[in-house]
Structure formats: structure tokens, C-alpha cells
A and B are shown apart, each in its own frame.
Chain A
Amino acid sequence: MKKTEKINISNVIFYIDEDAYVFLKEYMEQIKLYFRKQEEGKEIIKDIEIRIAELLQTKKSEKKQVINIDDINEVIEILGKPEDFASTDDINEEFVVHKKTKKLYRDHDNAVLGGVCSGIGAYLNVDPVIIRLLFVFLLIFYGVTAIIYIILWIIVPPAETIAQKLEMKGENFSISNIEKNVKNEYENVKQNLGKIKKSKEYDKTRGFFSTFFRGISEIIRFIFKFIFIIIGIVFIIIGLGLVVAFIGTLAFSEPLISSWGIFNSHNIIIPDMLNYFVSDSSTFLIVVCSLLVVVIPLFAIIYGGFKLIFRFKANDKLIAIVGITTWFLSLLMLISVSFFEAKDYAITAKSSETIEFKEPTKNILYLKSSSIQKYNTTKLYIFDDEIEILADKYDKNKLYAIPEIEIRKSNSKEFDIVIEKKGRGANKDAAIEIAKIINYKLFQNDTILEFDPYFYLENDMKWTFPEVEIRINVPVGKIIFLDESIREQLNYACTVESIWEKRMLNQKWIMTDDGLEKYSNGK
């Protein structure tokens, strides 16, 4: 198996072995360098390229698709090296090969541990043994050296191709050098094969320490790989878990992970919930955008995990740009939709009405709620009981809310009952409009005042959190009885001694100048 490059010479595509490619590239560079000084240089180079394409074309066949190093050698033989032209062409007599810049690589071929020292040695043109001694020396006095070594090991790339090996040594890229190296490479491969066959002999020649360190290096490498894989798996598990939990919350109102009660009828799925408060199109946008906002980072985590495990190549930059852009757009959209929708709740308007009330024939007024059974309500929970809403059992689009009852002292001699309805809207008119369609009723039957337990909006209007407040002003000296059935509605009562409203139920209270006081028959 060999790595192949795809190249284009004079608009003809060739597949070419990597070593052959390096060879050809270097040859072309030399040619370019040679003709660079001549004014017609570019044209000559172009002609030569055409010729190379022509010659290589003849090397291709059905059976042999890929250009190898022998083909390149042959082509170079036919065309000649710049040194060969020089004898017949005196313009560029002093033909110098340009120097390549040196680069720091790890030298695997001469490695004891990770090839860091031998790489530095090659870079500095110093015997790697000296560098190694220096490292060991420093290691004795400064433990940090080990970390530096490991960091270098991780960040410095190994010299793998012939070109990289030459770059590491800073050797000229001349044809002969490449040739030499290509030959060396083959020798190496042959040797390596031999080594595998006679690994015992190999051990002897390499020496104990070398093998020992190689073993350690393999173990360290393995440990690193292992750690990366573990991290990757953790990433994937976390990412997938959160995605499932989030989608669960969104679609089933349940983070599926914690409990699998998907079909719990008391739970309401979030899109349905949103439907109560915002328009259909906004619901869709909110759901999609929040899905993207949450899921994109999670996917990034999962992707990172897979990358750590499988180390595949991908266009990460593009993926990152697309991901981040989508994320920001979704966030922006979410914010603007929320803002747009929130406008509908901006203004609050009240509409108050005083209820016509006949003074009861006796001194006492019973406050009770009409039968809850009249309403087929069901409680719906969002976020696992975090939010509770009341809806009609058969028409989940119809929401109910509980009115609040307040009991105060009346300034006159008569009972005075006021219902205050609060609506919210984008402007005052809209708010009042909402307040008007709040459906809430009271019934009086002499000494009994019966409340509706709930109020609702007519016409299935969008729920803008309307409120209903019933103020009952009790004249001094009158008695009221708070029935158990108004437990949920009773919100405030003006009393002499402070007492929790729920404790006042099922009892008679008499209004005094300072507020309600417990009434006992005997008194």
C-alpha cells in the first residue's frame, strides 16, 4: 500500500506515488530555478511541463494507473537535469541549488524514546547523543524537563515523508539527495523487514536500553491513546445523554433519562404549552431555535468525542463555521421571537365591576365555592411539576385559572363586592379587550355567596396570564363563614391577629373596627 497524490500537469490529471511526487516536484523546482533568470523562462518551463505530461501519458495504461518513481526517473533521464543543460547552455553556468529552510521534526528513525532529541539534534546539526545527555542531565535537576519532553513529543510532528526527513536535516533538495534518500528508504524498509524476521538479532544490535525505552515509549503512546479514547467515550455519552434528555423535555415534558414516564397523562409537552401563550408560528420558531441552541453545542461535544476516538480527517473549519453561525442565528431568532411575543404582555389593564348585592336577611354571609365538578378540569404539569396549569379535560386548549379572594373592612354599613379583572396586551385597548372576555361569575342566594372556582377566557383566546381578584368588603358587626371549598381562592383577609388564611376556613368571623375576629356563638 502506498500513498498517492493527484497532480495536474498542463491540465492533465495524474495519480502519482508520494515518493515519485516529491521527486518530480523537486525536479520541477530545479528546472524553474535554472530558467528563472532567463526572460523566456516561463515559456520554457511550460514547454517542459507539456513534455512531461506527454511522456507520463505514455506511462499510463489500463493496468497501471499510477505514476511511480521509475517513470519519473525515466522522464528525468529523457529531459535531462539542469546540470546536463549547462554544458550546452552557458547562461546559467553558476547554477546553485536553493537552500530549504530547516524545520523541527521528530526523527523516528534514530529515536530512542520519541525521537525528540534526535530531531533537535538534526535541527541543530548536533549529534543527538549530546542532546540526549543534556536532557538527562536537566532531568536530574529539573523535573519539568520530563513535561517539556512530553509536550515536544506531542506537538512536534514526526518526519514521515522523504521531503520532511530532508527538511528536518536541512539538506538540499537536489535530485541526487532525493535519490539517495529514496534509496535509503528502500534499504530501511528492507532492513525493517529483516529485523522483524530476526528480531532477536535486532534486539542485540539495538542494545537493551534502546529496546527498553522503545517499549516504554510504546506503552506511553498506548496510554495516551487510551486516555483520549476514554475522554472521547465520555464526551459521546454525555453529549448523547443530554441530547436525549433535552429532546425528551421538549417533546414529552420529561427528561427521559430521569424517569421514563413518557405517557403520564398529567404532563404536557412543551410545544403544546407554548401554544397557550404564543402564536402557532412563534411556537414553531421557538421550538426549532431552542432545539438548535441546545443541541448544536451537544453535537460539538459528541463530534469531538468521535474525533478523539477515531481520529478521522474532516473539514473541521467548515463544520465549526456552519455550526457556530447556525447557533448564533438560532439564539438571535429565539431572543427576537421572545421579545416580539413578550410585547403582547407588556400592558396591563383593569376592569372593575361592583356586583349588585342584596343585603342578606341574616347577619351572616357564607362564602363558598360552587362545585368543582361543574368543570372538567385536569391539571397539567410542565418540567416535572415545576409549572402547573389547569386545562379542560376534553379541550386542552381551554385554560382555567384560580381567582383570588380578598376580605377587607367595608367603610359603609353594607356589604360591597368588587370583581377586578386584569388583562394583558400589547396596548391598553388590547388589554382591556382581554379583561372584558374573562368569564367569571358570582351567585348570591340570600346568605350564601357562591364563587366560581375558576375563570377562563372566552373564544379560546391566547393565554396572556389574566387575573381575577374578588374584593369583599365586610361592614363592621357582620359575620362571615369561610367554607372549606374556597381554600384555594382565599388569598387575603384583614384580621386583628395575623393568622394564616387557610387556618380561617370552616369558621365564623366577625368584622370589628380592627379587622376580622373569631366569632363564637356564646359571645
Chain B
Amino acid sequence: MNIENTKAQMKKGVLEYCILSILSKKDSYSSEIIKELKDAKLIVVEGTLYPLLTRQKNSGLLKYRWEESTQGPPRKYYSLTEKGEECLKELKTSWDELVETVDSIVNVDKK
């Protein structure tokens, strides 16, 4: 078993949830989202994020607007749609449940 792969799979599962959470706090453009995820060591390279954002946008969870930037090209500012917020709520519930369940299993093991 490839342990790196497993780790990556685990991270990948929560990535979408994290993106929605970040955007629920404030509208951000991709680099800001990336920075936060990088700081949390959830992603290593930025290229990972772009397909996720586009896919979430296409499935109606996110919308975006263009904003001029003082340097470089204009930026895409993402924000949650209603559907996105509902999705976030759902994900939050299942995440909490998951943490609880996993925790109970892991902690039982430790005891």
C-alpha cells in the first residue's frame, strides 16, 4: 500500500469542503484560497485547485465575478451560491459525523 497515496486521497476528500468553508467567510480569488489551503498544508501545488474550483462552479456551487487588479491580469473572485451554501451545510454535518465516528473508533482503539 502506498501511504503517500492514501494521505493524498484523504486530503482530497476534504478539499472541496474546505474550499466552500473558505468562501463562506468571504469572497476570494483563487490565489487567496490557495494561500489558505497551502498554509494548512492541504495542497502542495496550485494546479490542483483550478480544476476543483471550475468543477464546483460548473455544478452551481460557486459563482464568480471579474475584478481589475492593480498588477497583472484581472482576477476571478469566487463566492458561494445558495446551492453552495446548502452543500456546505450538508458537508459540515457529514464531516462532523465523520470526525465523531472516526474519533470514537480511534479512541476506542487507544483505550
Q: Whole-angstrom distance from the CB of B60 to the nearest CB of chain A? A: 13
Tell whether A321 is near chain B: CB-to-CB under 8 Å.
no
Tell whether B1 is near chain A: CB-to-CB under 8 Å.
no
Our pick among A38, A54, A57, A85 for the contact of B47 (Cβ within 8 Å) is A85
Q: Check B71–A58 contact: CB distance below 8 A.
A: yes
Tell whether B12 is near chain A: CB-to-CB under 8 Å.
yes
Tell whether B98 is near chain A: CB-to-CB under 8 Å.
no
Our pick among A40, A50, A85 for the contact of B48 (Cβ within 8 Å) is A85
CA A236 to CA B47, docked complex, whole Å: 58
Tell whether A373 is near chain B: CB-to-CB under 8 Å.
no
Q: Check A54–B45 contact: CB distance below 8 A.
A: no
Tell me which of A12, A40, A53 has the highest count of chain B C-beta atoms within 10 A of its own C-beta.
A40
Nearest neighbor of B51 in chain A, beta-carbon distance: A44
Tell whether A47 is near chain B: CB-to-CB under 8 Å.
yes
Q: Which 4 A-B pairs have the closest CB atoms?
A: A80-B45, A57-B72, A80-B47, A10-B73
Q: Check A47–B53 contact: CB distance below 8 A.
A: yes
CA A92 to CA B43, docked complex, whole Å: 18
> Which secondary structure dominates where chain B touches chain A?
helix
Our pick among A44, A54, A88 for the contact of B54 (Cβ within 8 Å) is A44
Write out the residue numbers on chain B whose beta carbons fall within 8 Å of the beta carbon of A79: 45-47
Nearest neighbor of A9 in chain B, beta-carbon distance: B73
B residues with a Cβ closer than 8 A to A are 4-5, 8, 11-12, 15, 30-31, 43-48, 50-51, 53-55, 58, 69, 71-76
In the complex with contacts A12-B73, A78-B45, A51-B31 CB distance below 8 A: yes
Our pick among B5, B12, B44, B55 for the contact of A80 (Cβ within 8 Å) is B44
A-B contact pairs, 7 of them (CB 8 A): A44-B54, A47-B53, A50-B74, A51-B50, A80-B46, A82-B47, A89-B48
CA A57 to CA B74, docked complex, whole Å: 12
Q: Whole-angstrom distance from the CB of A79 to the nearest CB of chain B? A: 5
Nearest neighbor of A31 in chain B, beta-carbon distance: B47
Q: Whole-angstrom distance from the CB of B2 to the nearest CB of chain A? A: 9
CA A89 to CA B30, docked complex, whole Å: 18
Q: Whole-angstrom distance from the CB of B46 to the nearest CB of chain A? A: 5
Our pick among A48, A54, A77 for the contact of B50 (Cβ within 8 Å) is A48
Our pick among A40, A47, A57, A78 for the contact of B30 (Cβ within 8 Å) is A47
Q: Check A53–B47 contact: CB distance below 8 A.
A: no
Contact flags (1/0) for A69-97 with B, using CB distance below 8 Å? 00000000111111011011101000000
In the complex with contacts A43-B54, A44-B54, A57-B71, A50-B47 CB distance below 8 A: no
CA A84 to CA B50, docked complex, whole Å: 13
Tell whether A265 is near chain B: CB-to-CB under 8 Å.
no
Q: Check A50–B76 contact: CB distance below 8 A.
A: yes
CA A44 to CA B72, docked complex, whole Å: 18
Q: Whole-angstrom distance from the CB of B4 to the nearest CB of chain A? A: 7
CA A43 to CA B51, docked complex, whole Å: 9
CA A47 to CA B44, docked complex, whole Å: 18
Write out the residue numbers on chain B whose beta carbons fall within 8 Å of the beta carbon of A44: 50-51, 54
Our pick among A50, A51, A88 for the contact of B12 (Cβ within 8 Å) is A88
Our pick among B5, B48, B54 for the contact of A47 (Cβ within 8 Å) is B54
Beyond contacts A31-B47, A51-B46, A87-B4: 8 other A-B pairs, Cβ-Cβ < 8 A, are: A48-B50, A50-B74, A50-B76, A54-B73, A57-B71, A58-B72, A84-B45, A88-B12
Tell me which of B31, B48, B54, B75 has the highest count of chain A C-beta atoms within 10 A of its own C-beta.
B54
Q: Check B73–A88 contact: CB distance below 8 A.
A: no
Q: Whole-angstrom distance from the CB of B44 to the nearest CB of chain A? A: 7
